[in-house]
Chain A
Amino acid sequence: MSTQIRPAPVRKSVFVDAPQNHAFDVFTSGIGRWWPKSHKIGEAELDKPVIEPRAGGRWYQLGVDGSSCDVGKVLKWDPPARVLLAWQLTADWTYDPDLVTEVEVTFTPEGSGTRVDLEHRLLERIGERAETMREAIDSPNGWGLLLQLYSEASAE
C-alpha cells in the first residue's frame, strides 16, 4: 500500500586549493586525517577510518582497541580522477553486506586547484533494507532522527 519514495542523491562540491593528485590522496589514503570522529560503528572507540587503495579494497574503521568494522569497499579506483566507494551502512550505522549505496568522488583540476564533487546515491536501498515500516519509523534513526535533526537545527 505504500509508495516507495526515491530520495535524490546527495551531491556536494568543494574547491580545494591543492593539486588533483594531492586532493585524491588526502581523500583516500589520508581519510583518517579528516573523517569526522563523531560516529562509531562498532563497540570500540573509533581510532580512524582506512580505505585500501585498490579496486576491491576494504573501507573500514579501526577501533582504538585494534578491532575493525567494515564501512564498505572500493568499487572503482581511478587515481587521481575518481574513486567509487560502496557505503554499506544502514540507517543506524551498522554494516550490512547486502546493502550497497554508492559514493562517487571525482577530482577535476580547476585553475590553481581541484574541484571535488561527491555524489552519494541509491539511498532508497537503505529503506529497502529496513525491516518493516513501523520499525523504521519508531527506530531512533527513523522518526527519532528527524526530530533530533530538527531540534539540533533549531538550537543553532
Chain B
Amino acid sequence: MTNSSRVFAALNDPTRRAVLERLRSGPKPVGEIARGLPVTRPAVSQHLKVLKEAGLVDDRAEGTRRIYQIDPKGLGAMRAWLDQFWTGALDAFAAEAERSAKKEKE
C-alpha cells in the first residue's frame, strides 16, 4: 500500500476521524482519547496504531503511559499530497516522453 492510500484508509473510519479531532487540542493519553467515545479503550488503541502507521499521529512514553499527538506540522498530509502529486506528474511525463519519442521515429 502506498503512503497516501494508507492515509486515506486510515481516515476512512468515523472513529479514527473522531480520534484525530480530539488530538487537535493537544497531546493526550489513550484513556483521555477514549473517554466519551462509543468504543472500548483497546479498540481506540487499535485505531491509534492504524493512524500511527499512516504517519498521522506519533506517540511517546511518559512514565508508564503513552501520549499520542497528531503530526504537529501536517507533514503526514504534506507527504501524502506529494506522493499523489508525483504519481500524477510522472505519469504525465512518461506519456509525453513516449509520445515524442514515437513522433521522432516516424
Q: Taking beta carbons and an 8 Å cutoff, which residues of A are in contact with B?
A: 1-3, 5, 7-8, 10, 12, 14-19, 22-23, 26-27, 30, 33-36, 91, 116, 118, 120, 123-124, 126-127, 130, 133, 136-137, 139, 141-143, 145-146, 149-150, 153-154
Question: Are A123 and B78 neighbours in the complex by a CB distance under 8 Å?
Answer: yes
Known A137-B70, A137-B72, A153-B8; judge A1-B27 contact (CB<8 A): yes
Alpha-carbon distance between A34 and B100 when the two chains are bound, in angstroms: 11
Alpha-carbon distance between A127 and B73 when the two chains are bound, in angstroms: 5
Interface of A is mostly: mixed
Which one of A12, A23, A153 contacts B86 once the chains associate, using CB atoms below 8 Å? A12
Question: Are A150 and B11 neighbours in the complex by a CB distance under 8 Å?
Answer: yes
Alpha-carbon distance between A3 and B4 when the two chains are bound, in angstroms: 22
Question: Are B81 and A149 neighbours in the complex by a CB distance under 8 Å?
Answer: yes
Q: Taking beta carbons and an 8 Å cutoff, which residues of B are in contact with A?
A: 3-4, 7-8, 11-12, 24, 27, 55-56, 58, 60, 69-98, 100-101, 104
Q: Which 9 A-B pairs have CB atoms at the shortest separation, nearest pair first?
A: A142-B74, A127-B73, A18-B101, A146-B77, A34-B96, A153-B8, A26-B97, A7-B79, A34-B92
Alpha-carbon distance between A34 and B86 when the two chains are bound, in angstroms: 12
13 new A-B contacts at CB < 8 Å, known A10-B86, A142-B77: A2-B72, A3-B58, A5-B73, A5-B76, A7-B75, A7-B78, A10-B3, A16-B97, A22-B100, A36-B88, A116-B90, A145-B78, A153-B8
Question: Are A91 and B93 neighbours in the complex by a CB distance under 8 Å?
Answer: no
Alpha-carbon distance between A145 and B73 when the two chains are bound, in angstroms: 12
A18 to chain B, nearest CB (A): 4
